[in-house]
Amino acid sequence: MYTSTLPIRQEIQDTHAAAAAHWASPGTWWSADERAAIVDEVRKAWDAEPLPPWQTPSSTQALADPLRLLPIAAIDVIWRLTNHVTTLTKKWYESYVPSQLSPQQYVEIVGIVAQVTLTDRFADALELERVQLPEARPGEPSREQPADAEVVAHWVPTAPIVDGSWNPATPSDVPNVRKALSLVAAERIMQWVLIDAHYVQGGALADDFGSNHWSLERAQIELLGTRTSTVNECFY
């Protein structure tokens, strides 16, 4: 995966490779080719000259691609999520969903954008080549969706999550962040595979995981996490 003299943990190598294979596979609501196009669009958005959040790439002639595979609405959403995620509002969301994108399509896009952002910022920070996707796999989107999903505390529908690793005593009592992307289960699973590899598994948060799992102590890990969250304006 990554060729470097840096001591990159095998867990990182393996999960990033798994993510690349995941993106190149048929999704739940987008085809493999469309998912690969979403990855390309995330990278295009990040590397481009910055646009203000109110300006969409589809309104910019130099960025309008007549050969695009994705709907214009999907491209505009990808750019806003990639570069201006802190500016999102419910009004903005409702300008796209459900009139131009279904909630399921939107959630799958959110999942891919989040995963690509994680792996690409890792590679960029260490001056490594970004993860390359394998050839797109044939097949149709599964269109699987949870029957009991509903809008509760998020803009999009979410499904109940039973996660014994988080709190064995009450496995149905999980925080909202664990319910995110649950409308498209495959993206939720992949997202947490990456998060667990980079940070810590949810069920280990109460343990002194820093002394027996990482080379950093717990306090050092939390300091890095807090500083990163602050810089990214992620206040949770």
Alpha carbon 146 to its chain's center: 20
Radius of gyration of the chain (CA): 18
Backbone angles phi, psi at 114, to 5 degrees: -65, -40
Spatial neighbors of 186 by CB under 8 A, at least 6 apart, are 22, 27, 28, 142
Q: What pLDDT is recorded for position 116? A: 99
Spatial neighbors of 88 by CB under 8 A, at least 6 apart, are 80, 81
Whether pTM exceeds 0.85: yes
Domain ranges of the chain: 10-142+186-204, 206-236
CA distances from 182 to 152, 157, 179 (A): 12, 8, 5
Query: What are the pLDDT tens digits along the chain (236 aa)?
Result: 899 999 999 999 999 999 999 999 999 999 999 999 999 999 999 999 989 999 998 887 656 676 789 999 999 999 999 999 989 999 999 999 999 999 999 999 999 999 999 999 999 999 999 999 999 999 999 999 998 999 988 999 999 887 766 666 666 677 788 889 999 999 999 999 999 898 877 656 656 555 556 677 778 888 988 898 888 777 65
Upstream peptide bond of 7 is cis (omega within 30 degrees of 0): no
Q: How many CB atoms lie within 10 A of CB 149?
A: 19
First-to-last alpha carbon distance for the chain, in angstroms, is 32
- Site of tokens 């799992």: 213
Q: Which residues in 180-190 are b (16+ Cβ under 10 Å) and which e?
A: bbbbbbbbbeb
What ranges in 24-145 are assigned the alpha helix state H? 32-47, 72-83, 90-96, 103-125
Q: What pLDDT is recorded for position 110? A: 99
Question: Which residue type sits at 115?
Answer: Q
Sign of the CA dihedral with 157 first, then 163, 165, and 168 last? positive
Q: What pLDDT is recorded for position 212? A: 58
Q: What pLDDT is recorded for position 63? A: 63
